[in-house]
Amino acid sequence: MERSVVLPLSCRPRCQSARAMDLQQRFAAGVLAGRGTALELQATDYPLVTIIGPESVIEVPQAIRDGLARFVTATRIDDLDSAVARVMGAAAAGARVAFVRNSVDEAIAACDRLRKEGLDPMLFHARFAMIDRQGIEAAVMSRFGRERASGAETPRGHVLVATQVIEQSLDLDFDLMITDLAPIDLMIQRAGRLWRHARGARPIGGPELLVLSGEPIDVADKDWANRVLGRGARVYRDHALLWRSARALFRAGGIATPAGVRTLVEAVYDDAIQEEAPQALLLGERRAEGDAFAASSIAQMNVLLLRAQGGRPHVGYSADAGSWDSDVRTPTRLSDD
């Protein structure tokens, strides 16, 4: 019996260094390799569902529900004092505010700074002991989660200082977000926590993403990201990628979803159309690429391959496929000790 394979272009555009369409094309080639058939993908719509059959490809742009399309304004701020001032002003107006820092240390420092200014922010990051983190997550969901959409608003605002732990999985809804610059796909994820649910009047005029970032000018020095982000610049070591992300985001003026998502992602990740970053940032880009290749090699060395001998995958995994000796520690993710 002939079968078709459906490849959805995910609503989370995590393209890494390849275009989403190239990734789809590679999936299509893998599906059709056994038949010796090559089919070209053409559509660039987003969202998009691609149906690959034995002899044809059907590409179906997907409509979204009424009211889901929106535009989040992106505004650059270039120092911590300005970020703190915007947090305080929004909180005084009764808003629920997220301040997202790239590193735990910077999040702790920002929280301490806001407390000295008279606010009482919540702090949420991944360095807490698990039992404490679960309790904090529950409190965060109670104050900033979906259920607050139908609850009565208080005249006093609430502030959450957090790291990447709020980027995904948690259904959070903020009136205003201030965030460190990050790769464009992660900026889109963070912006998805703004005005997430339909509510009544908000204390903020519209969804706005305030981005703590250097100006993405044509001539930037090697410390372009470090000066503004501090330790948070070390989390994303490819500063050319950060520069391209800032360039694309501020040039667009914000994030249009879903219509503008693919354009933003490809402006940053597509080798064919991306801008050349300043020369001072290219060394870091090459190092990041080298690290990525090394990480991929390490992963390949440690993978366990499923043996499909005679079409019988139930025979199990091949223990000699990687370095799985009894004294070897094989983590689920690559990170520093």
Q: Which of these, 20, 78, 99, 22, lies nearest to 258 by C-alpha position?
A: 20
Q: Are residues 125 and 196 in the same domain?
A: yes
CA dihedral 174, 213, 115, 189 (to 10 degrees): 30
Same domain, 179 and 84: yes
Same domain, 154 and 276: yes
The dihedral region occupied by 301, where left means phi > 0, alpha psi between -120 and 50, and beta the remainder, is alpha
Give 18 or 135, the one with higher predicted confidence. Answer: 135
Q: Using an 8 Å Cβ cutoff, are 265 and 185 in contact?
A: yes
Q: What is the average pLDDT score of the chain?
A: 83
Q: How confident is the model at residue 1 (pLDDT cuts 50, 70, 90)?
A: very low
Q: Which one has a higher pLDDT value, 15 or 69? A: 69
pLDDT of residue 114: 97
Residue 217: closest CA among 233, 228, 230, 231: 228
% of the chain surpassing 90 pLDDT:
49
Residue 266 near residue 251, CB atoms below 8 Å: no
Give yes or no: residues 30 and 134 share one domain: no
pLDDT band at 111 (very low <50, low <70, confident <90, very high): very high
Q: Is position 313 within any domain? A: no
Residue where a domain terminates, one of 37, 61, 85: 61
- Give domain status of residue 242, yes or no: yes
Q: How confident is the model at residue 271 (pLDDT cuts 50, 70, 90)?
A: confident
> In terms of domains, do 48 and 167 share one?
no
193 and 217 in a single domain? The answer is: yes
Band (pLDDT 50/70/90 cuts) for residue 292 is confident
Q: How far apart (Å, rounded) are the C-alpha atoms in residues 35 and 18?
A: 25
Q: What is the pLDDT of residues 23-81, one digit of tens each?
A: 677 777 777 766 666 777 788 788 888 888 777 788 898 888 887 888 999 999 999 99
SS3 sequence of the chain: CCCCEEEECCCCCCCCCCCHHHHHHHHHHHHHHHHCCCCCCCCCCCCEEEEECCCCEEEEECCCCCCCCEEEEEEEECCHHHHHHHHHHHHHCCCEEEEECCCHHHHHHHHHHHHHCCCCCEEECCCCCHHHHHHHHHHHHHHHEHHHHHCCCCCCCEEEEECHHHCCCCCECECEEEEECCCHHHHHHHHCCECCCCCCCCCCCCCEEEEECCCCCCCCCCCCCHHHHHHHHHCCCCHHHHHHHHHHHHHHCEEEECCCHHHHHHHHHCCCCCCCCCHHHHHHHHHHHHHHHHHHHHHHHCCCEECCHHHCHHHCEEHHHCCCCCCCCCCCCCCCC
Tokens of 273: 């159309």
Sheet-wide strand order for 57-61: 5-8, 48-52, 57-61
Question: What mean pLDDT is predicted for residues 195-217?
Answer: 92
Give residue 173's pLDDT.
94
Residue 98 near residue 172 (C-beta atoms within 8 A): yes
> Which band of pLDDT confidence, cut at 50, 70 and 90, is reported for residue 11?
very low
Task: Output 154 or 87, whichever has higher pLDDT.
Answer: 87
- Of the chain, the end-to-end C-alpha distance in Å amounts to 50
Residue 319 counted as domain residue: no
CA 295/CA 300 separation, integer angstroms:
9
Of the candidates 304, 86, 101, 51, the one whose C-alpha atom is nearest the C-alpha of residue 175 is: 86
CA 229, chain centre distance (Å): 17
| Rounded mean pLDDT, 14-19 | 42
pLDDT over 70 (residue 21): no
7 token code pair = 């490849």
CATH code, 152 = 3.40.50.300
Give the domain extent around 238: 70-281
Closest by CA to 186, choosing from 85, 132, 255, 93, is 255
pLDDT band at 15 (very low <50, low <70, confident <90, very high): very low
The amino acid at 113: R
pLDDT value at 109 more than 60: yes
pLDDT at residue number 314 = 57
- Name the more confident of 57 and 143: 143
* 90, 157 Cβ separation under 8 angstroms: yes
Q: Are 77 and 99 in contact (CB under 8 A)?
A: no
pLDDT on residue 18: 43
Report pLDDT digits (tens) over 150-189.
Answer: 444 555 689 999 999 999 889 999 999 999 999 999 999 9
Do 267 and 205 fall into the same domain? yes
Q: Are residues 52 and 77 in the same domain?
A: no
Entry pTM: 0.80
How many structural domains compose the chain? 2
- Same domain membership, residue 190 and residue 87: yes
Q: Is the pLDDT of residue 12 over 90?
A: no
